[in-house]
Structure 1
């Protein structure tokens, strides 16, 4: 297997785009090569098989989301409900901006119901992300506890899913308002 990290990342990014656009059936090494604009056979030199590629896609989504977050900026100013709501609005926007990544992740979740190895990898990856978010939240001094963080994760994941898959369900001009309302319900004033 080839080891050029930049090329591997470009191939995984291309695979994310193919998976989001074409679904699981359209995700082939040939389609990834075409999307990445590399010679035929390149993807098969970097990934042992389709399961290897699927596993890499799941990890890459979280890499890209972590790279787009600024912890220092997140903690500027007071650490109150308003700051938490602003952080949640930013999170919804950042994930929505990486639409193909989130849609690819949804495809992977569905495929994981049929592939135990993929399910194991995604479970570990997503559990680690949830635990990291809980840890960050508790250490940051933002209001709320572990249950609050989990409730927000669950609610915002569904809101993001609706926003990306059925955008007419909740009006786009109300998304931030809905996020604020979710924060208010999870962390009532007083």
Structure 2
């Protein structure tokens, strides 16, 4: 591999390392704890490394949001719920099988409550911060709109009325389900077959309501 390509890959890897450390720090200690020095310590890199890559706090928050969106998109793609990047179309439509959609969505929710819990928590911290930071809001919006467009497309294929309202209601319900269980916990332990089954039944009921004529 040419030296310049290797250097570019190394820089991408270092940026990802720092963004992942910032996500964990934000999730576990909150927005006030998010400083360049704290990210350096969490990542185990020399002091000043984070500020060299992300010179301002806004740049660091931007890196967190982009990293969260990229990781979420990859997790969804693996489950057949591919969300496009901003301005792009999905590589293929998601399945019309509502049971399969419910199972895949439940698996993603369960992942957000277990293995990728820190990412989910960090995302909500960023969303709250975006209330007073329009630039951050602008970064979050494309990912949220992609979920809306994908849901709207699914509902349209099932002939559902009031597509915009129902698609936004479904996305909000799924988002609220994740948030509520992150905050208050779930009757079933996250990461278990029982929890995924419970979530699947809940999401399937939401889909039934969204597609009802």
Picking from 152, 164, 174, the partner of 2:182 is 164
Q: Give the equivalent residue in structure 1 for 2:116.
A: 98
- From 34, 45, 52, the equivalent of 1:27 is 34
**Cα distance, 1:41 vs structure 2:** 1.0
Deviation string 1:52-103 (CA, Å, 9 cap, x unpaired) is 000111111110011123368568x973322222232123123333111111
Measure, in 2, the Cα distance between the counterparts of 1:63 and 1:78. 22
Q: 1:102 to 1:134 in 2, by over 3 A?
A: same
- Length-normalised TM-score, structure 2: 0.73
Q: Could you say if the C-alpha distance between residues 71 and 135 of structure 1 is closer, same or farther in structure 2, counting changes exceeding 3 Å?
A: farther
How far, CA to CA, are the matches of 1:135 and 1:90 in structure 2?
20
Instruction: Please state how far the C-alpha of 1:130 moved relative to its aligned partner.
Output: 3.0
Distance, in Å, in 2 between the alignment partners of 1:39 and 1:136 is: 47
State the superposition RMSD in angstroms: 3.0
1-side partners of 2:139 and 2:151: how far apart? 20
In the alignment, which residue of structure 2 is the partner of 1:133? 150
Are the counterparts in 2 of residues 14 and 32 from structure 1 also a CA contact under 8 Å?
Answer: yes
CA distance in 1, matches of 2:99, 2:16: 36
Q: Tell me how far 1:150 sits from its aligned partner.
A: 2.3
Could you tell me which residue of structure 1 aligns to residue 89 of structure 2? Answer: none
| 1:89 matched to 2:106 | yes
Q: Which residue of 2 aligns with 1:118?
A: 136
Please give the alpha-carbon distance, in whole angstroms, between the structure 1 residues aligned to 2:210 and 2:143. Answer: 25
Consecutive unaligned residues in structure 2, runs of 5 or more: 1-6, 82-91, 189-194
- The separation in 1 between residues aligned to 2:79 and 2:184, in whole angstroms, is 33
The aligned runs of 1:37-52 (5 Å cut-off) are: 37-52=44-59
Indicate which of 191, 200, 204 corresponds to 1:180: 204
TM-score w.r.t. length of structure 1: 0.81
> What secondary structure does 2:136 align onto?
helix
Q: May I ask how many residue pairs the two structures share in their alignment? A: 184
Cα distance in 2 for residues equivalent to 1:70 and 1:159: 21
| Inter-partner Cα distance in structure 2 for 1:146 and 1:87 | 22
Cα distance in 1 between the residues matched to 2:165 and 2:100 = 18
